Each structure stands twice: as structure tokens, then as C-alpha cells.
Amino acid sequence: MNSREMLTKNGEIHVTHKTSYPFSEWEIVELAEEAELFLVKEEEFYKLDYPGYENKRGDGICDESFPVGKSGTFILPSGCTLIRGSTEVL
């Protein structure tokens, strides 16, 4: 099951990811569009805004943390479709 299948009609997916090179090469927005999810907002991520936040690696060494660095949160609503280059909530 993917996150889109678990959303309610007006739900959102928030993806926080490093935005500096080489992580910017992951092209999060383009990957989301392939899943028919379209960015409506991107916010800078500040670890200090989330007391107790601890990030974890996802590849084999899951319990180790790493420097967050420059990161952003990409907000992708479930009820959006792309219409002539803009997003429209359905």
C-alpha cells in the first residue's frame, strides 16, 4: 500500500527532503507528478521547529542520524489534478 491509498479526499502528503546537491537530483516534484500528485507548496524545513525530532537513515543503517542541512517540505494534496500548468483542487 502506498501513502496515496491511505489518504482521505482532502488529505495531504508531506515529504521532507534535503534540497541541496546531490539530493536535489532526486527530483521529488517530478516523482510526485508521475504518481499524479502535484505540488501546491514547498516550505523550508527547520529542525528546531520540531522539538524532539530525530531523523534516521533509511538504507541499512536505520538507527543512525545524519546532518539535516538545507531541506524542504513538499506538500502534495490527494485531491489535486494538473490542469493547464496549474493545480486545481477537486
Q: What is the pLDDT of residue 57?
A: 72
pLDDT attached to residue 61? 65
* Dihedral, 75, 79, 83, 88 alpha carbons, nearest 10: -80
Q: Which helix (H) or strand (E) holds 33?
A: helix 28-34
Domain residues of the chain, as ranges? 3-89
Instruction: Tell me the whole-structure pTM to 2 decimals.
Output: 0.68
**CA trace torsion 18, 19, 20, 25 (10° rounding):** 100
Per-position pLDDT tens, the chain of length 90: 566 677 777 788 888 888 999 988 999 899 888 888 888 899 999 988 889 888 877 766 677 777 788 999 999 887 654 433 443 333
Report H helices in the chain.
3-6, 28-34
Residue 55, pLDDT score? 80
